[in-house]
């Protein structure tokens, strides 16, 4: 891919006290508008990697660049200011990612309420009208405007995850980390949200790191796939090659073990 990377990690290492390396020398890049899938069995280090990227966990060593800015040396508030609004996340459990005391309008508008000087293209014509902004964002994730005045406990799991996605795209991010965003939902809702995410990514153009245990979902949404085992990146390929006999032995093992019965990793 010829475009300059949005995000690059080189030789990332993370070790918890008394343990072997949870992340062991991982390197990769993400480019504008692409979705990279990350697979591996539970405990392989996928979520730890996501938390390190989001600066929720401190790396032991390694380098990280976002849009050409080195994020970790020296590690100052500049790193957080650079990432602010530009990197967003959608997590597995939508109920825990939304404040139960806030109405949906307040959850959706939280990034834009904080980033008062930013005017994303997707709400450029209504930036000064908070209600219209929130209605636009809900429309983008295919939810009716009347939900803005409700609370999270009044919504279904799928609706809450759509709200979390609306909040993530509200600041027009360059990168979204999605950590198992559909795993807690039923199969029909999963398929609908994946289709919606693909449309949003095409229209908005953000890069995406999509972490999942579901091979079918990963192959559908991703442009390329990375495989992690015991904290190491051991395979990396175009999504069309997921079932290739030339893949790493561990990748073939995952595919053989879980794809035939439609099971997840």
What pLDDT is attached to residue 163? Answer: 97
Does the pLDDT of residue 33 top 70, yes or no?
A: yes
Report if residue 145 sits inside a domain.
Answer: yes
Q: How confident is the model at residue 6 (pLDDT cuts 50, 70, 90)?
A: very high
Q: Do 159 and 42 fall within a single domain?
A: no
Q: Do 232 and 117 fall within a single domain?
A: no
**Cβ neighbour number for residue 224 with a 10 Å cutoff:** 18
Q: Do 77 and 184 fall within a single domain?
A: yes
Average pLDDT value over all residues in the chain:
89
Report if residue 264 sits inside a domain.
Answer: yes
Report if residue 94 sits inside a domain.
Answer: no
Q: Domain boundary residue among 138, 172, 206?
A: 172
Report if residue 203 sits inside a domain.
Answer: yes
Q: Domain boundary residue among 172, 198, 214?
A: 172
User: Using H for helix, E for strand and C for coil, what is the string for 187-229?
Assistant: HHHHHHHHHHHHHHHHHHCCEEEEECCCHHHHHHHCCEEEEEE
**Domain extent for 167:** 100-172
What secondary structure does DSSP assign to 135-176, as a single string? HHHHHHTT--GGGGGS-GGGS-HHHHHHHHHHHHHTT--SEE
Query: Positive or negative CA dihedral for 113, 36, 55, 19?
Result: positive
Q: Do 104 and 139 fall within a single domain?
A: yes
Does the pLDDT of residue 227 top 70, yes or no?
A: yes
Q: Domain boundary residue among 149, 172, 195?
A: 172
Q: Do 222 and 258 fall within a single domain?
A: yes
Q: Do 185 and 211 fall within a single domain?
A: yes
Does the pLDDT of residue 136 top 70, yes or no?
A: yes
Query: How many domains does the chain fold into?
Result: 2
Return the SS3 of 38: strand
Global pTM reads: 0.91
Q: Do 66 and 105 fall within a single domain?
A: no
Name 56's Cβ contacts closer than 8 Å, sequence gap at least 6. none
What pLDDT is attached to residue 119? Answer: 85
Q: Do 188 and 260 fall within a single domain?
A: yes
Report if residue 95 sits inside a domain.
Answer: no
Report if residue 92 sits inside a domain.
Answer: no
Q: Do 124 and 249 fall within a single domain?
A: no
Does the pLDDT of residue 184 top 90, yes or no?
A: no
Report if residue 124 sits inside a domain.
Answer: yes
Q: Do 181 and 144 fall within a single domain?
A: no
Q: Do 41 and 140 fall within a single domain?
A: no
Task: Check which CATH number belongs to the domain holding 200 and give it.
Answer: 3.40.50.300
pLDDT in tens, 51-79: 999 888 888 999 999 888 887 765 555 55
The beta-strand segments (E) located in 16-155 are 21-30, 35-39, 61-66, 69-70, 87-90
Does the pLDDT of residue 257 top 70, yes or no?
A: yes
Work out the average pLDDT over 252-264: 72
The rounded percent of the chain whose pLDDT value lies above 90 is 67
What pLDDT is attached to residue 2? Answer: 47
Q: Do 52 and 183 fall within a single domain?
A: yes
């Amino acid at each position: 891919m010829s475009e300059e990377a949005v995000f690059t990690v080189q030789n990332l290492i993370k070790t918890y006290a008394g343990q072997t390396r949870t992340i062991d020398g991982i390197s990769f890049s993400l480019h504008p508008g692409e979705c990279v899938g990350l697979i591996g069995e539970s405990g392989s280090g996928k979520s730890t990697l996501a938390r390190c990227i989001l600066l929720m966990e401190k790396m032991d060593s390694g380098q990280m660049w976002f849009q050409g800015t080195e994020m970790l040396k020296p590690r100052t508030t500049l790193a957080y200011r650079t990432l602010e609004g530009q990197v967003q996340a959608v997590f597995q459990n939508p109920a825990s990612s939304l404040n139960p005391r806030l109405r949906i309008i307040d959850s959706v508008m939280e990034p834009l309420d904080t980033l008062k000087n930013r005017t994303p293209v997707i709400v450029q014509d209504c930036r000064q009208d908070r209600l219209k902004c929130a209605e636009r964002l809900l429309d983008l994730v295919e939810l009716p405007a009347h939900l803005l005045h409700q609370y999270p406990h009044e919504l279904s799991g799928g609706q809450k995850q759509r709200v979390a996605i609306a909040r993530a795209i509200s600041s027009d991010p360059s990168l979204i980390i999605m950590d198992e965003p559909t795993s807690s939902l039923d199969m029909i809702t999963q398929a609908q949200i994946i289709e919606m995410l693909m449309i949003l990514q095409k229209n908005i153009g953000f890069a995406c790191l999509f972490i999942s245990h579901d091979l079918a979902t990963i192959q559908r949404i991703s442009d390329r796939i990375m495989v992690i085992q015991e904290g190491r990146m051991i395979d990396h390929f175009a999504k069309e090659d997921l079932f290739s006999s030339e893949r790493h032995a561990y990748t073939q093992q995952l595919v053989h073990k879980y794809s035939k019965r439609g099971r997840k990793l």
